[in-house]
Chains A and B, each alone.
Chain A
Amino acid sequence: MAINISELTIKKARLMLDNGEITSLDLCMTVLDEINKKNPELNAFLGVYDDVLDQAAASDKLIIQNGELGIKNPDLLGIPIGLKDNILVQGKHAGSASKIFEGYVAPYSSTAALKLQEQGAVLVGNLNMDEFAMGSSGETSAYGPAKNPHDTTRVPGGSSSGSAVAVAGGMVLGSFGTDTAGSVRLPASFCGLVGMYSTYDTCSRYGIMAMGSSLDQIGPLAKTVEDCEMLYSAIVGYDKHDAQSVPEEMRVCTSASVKKIGVPKKLLELPGISKAVIDNVNESVEKLKKLGYELVDVDLPHIEQSLSVYYIVMSAEASTNLACYDGIRYGNRIEGENLEDLYFKTKGEGLGEEVKRRMFLGAYSLSAGYYDAFYGKACRVRDLIKFEFEEVFKQVDLIIMPTSTDEAFKFGAITDPVSMYAQDIFAVPANIAGTPAITIPSGKGEHGMPLGIQFYAPWFGESLLFEVGKKFEAKNTN
């Protein structure tokens, strides 16, 4: 039976596997064929694991065994999944798409990877990304950028560029990326996928190479909201290995269902937002009204400060987290005349331009004399932004806003770092406040590239995102 990976959803594959129409081995052999055909151009996979077919065969045995016993199979049993290059799988290479990690083999597995393996998902390989997740376009990867399958002259978005391209390009059925400032949602939007950032530390960060520890979350990318939910459900949960993991009993949302949706209209007046995006938001609002939701204006006065706050907090945390990649503790060593020289040579040759810039910024904002003015003040403004979200979520159950300021742009079109950072303006507030957010395909831009619409929920309100997301998706495709 011919399997079309580009069209196949996880949900449909689950049914076909359980009905015996296909096997995981069939599915994974097709996936490997597709990767061989497409990856030389799309550059989504940095590596394919050597035991994919063994994993698939093991999953098939379980499917047969479970079928005989009449047990409902776990959602991801036998489903081929890709992982961003900063998610550790024991015995496999992971390297955050950085030269400093060339040849590095993970000595242990991330909690997310372990959970996926326990549920029988087939882990296919490691996916391209912006180096150390620092980028919004996928262009900072040390191994060359992944390309948008809708138009290979355009960026796929970042930093989880390969995670989006692998799914949108029909190479795997679902993938995981990490989101520190929209790094799952922006590429999902640029590639016409669903992508999600869950409430901070509801999914374990253990075994994920850290960038901004107070912002990072692993997140799913999929073709549909239902697939996204299946991927998310497989990895969510308390983890004792993650010191900030939220205990289950504290995961209580203030809203039980969605009636009112807030529209931060002032945000759409910011400069640099394309007409197509504004039109798309207005059309989406109309669709939601037709679905019976009440749409009301809301104000988040300091939300646009999220980007400045983000670049201070993230760079401070990243410069601390990346300090250990010095050639002694981690990373490929370049020998020097003395220890200091070794550090300089190792980082000089191993790290890219954007990573170095952020390490400078981190050193600056944490330095004596600037700590209070920069890091301290950024934390206080972060308090204010979270407070404003709390106030708005007393009035509404969800907030709607675009995912990006425009459709995917051409490679090399943005060279100024500040303009590149501005791509994340609608995504980063979720990371700053720690609220969950989902992007869902909602239309096309001026050049026919996908656009996404974003929903923000109150803390622990992921089920609200899925509830509205499914209805919106159905309305959008009809």
Chain B
Amino acid sequence: MISLTTDDLKKLSVMARVPLPESVEEKQKILMKFQSVLDFVAQVEAVDVPDSVPHYFTPVNIVRDDFLFNTSPDEITEENLKKMKQDRDQTREDILNEFPSRRGDHLVVPLVLNKTKKKTE
């Protein structure tokens, strides 16, 4: 069971940008209710999920994994570096191509700021 203090609550208040009341009694009331909610939801920790269960909702990275070149120096060859650069450029190009409008390597978006100024020019 996780036991929260008013200091923990203050930290959450800062993270959520939601203020806490000034009075100690009010803070204590909020803490008690929040603690009961936390105890309730913490039940999930005890559930055993077999590995055979597919991942439908577990967050996964859908973007290309970043390359990390920390392998043996003999793998850092001209050929590997060239391939890496090609992959990176292709991913970048694929993303740019998905955008409705582009100018070179820049994405074209509707004008938001200084609209009036632009019109009068």
Residues on A facing B (Cβ under 8 Å): 214, 302, 305, 307-309, 311-313, 319, 323, 326, 340, 343-345, 347-348, 351, 356-357, 359-365, 367, 373-374, 376-384, 386-387, 416-418, 421
Indicate whether A361 sits within 8 Å of B45 (C-beta atoms), given known contacts A348-B19, A418-B36. Answer: no
**Contact partners of A340 in chain B: CB under 8 A:** 17
* Stretch of B52-60, B63-71, B99-107, B108-116 at the chain-chain interface: B52-60
From B37, which residue of chain A is reached at the shortest CB distance? A417
Q: Tell me, in angstroms, the Cα distance from A351 to B13 when the chains sit together.
A: 13
Chain A facing B: main interface SS: helix
From A421, which residue of chain B is reached at the shortest CB distance? B40
**Contact partners of A356 in chain B: CB under 8 A:** 16, 18
Provide a sorted-by-A list of 8 A–B residue pairs whose CB atoms are within 8 angstroms.
A308-B40, A323-B17, A360-B13, A361-B37, A367-B15, A380-B58, A383-B54, A386-B57
**What is the minimal beta-carbon distance from B16 to any residue of chain A, in angstroms?**
4
From B9, which residue of chain A is reached at the shortest CB distance? A360
**What is the minimal beta-carbon distance from A414 to any residue of chain B, in angstroms?**
13
**Contact partners of A360 in chain B: CB under 8 A:** 9, 12-13, 16, 18, 34
From B39, which residue of chain A is reached at the shortest CB distance? A418
Q: Are B19 and A416 in contact (CB under 8 A)?
A: no
- B33 on interface, CB distance cutoff 8 Å: yes
- B43 on interface, CB distance cutoff 8 Å: yes
The 4 closest A-B pairs by CB, nearest first: A348-B19, A363-B15, A363-B16, A359-B16
- Number of inter-chain CB pairs below 8 Å: 110
From B43, which residue of chain A is reached at the shortest CB distance? A308
Q: Are B41 and A357 in contact (CB under 8 A)?
A: no
**Contact partners of A384 in chain B: CB under 8 A:** 47, 49-50, 53
From A343, which residue of chain B is reached at the shortest CB distance? B17
Contacting residue for A311 out of B40, B47, B56, B58, CB 8 A: B40
**Contact partners of A377 in chain B: CB under 8 A:** 44-45, 47
Q: Tell me, in angstroms, the Cα distance from A367 to B13 when the chains sit together.
A: 12
Q: Tell me, in angstroms, the Cα distance from A302 to B44 when the chains sit together.
A: 10
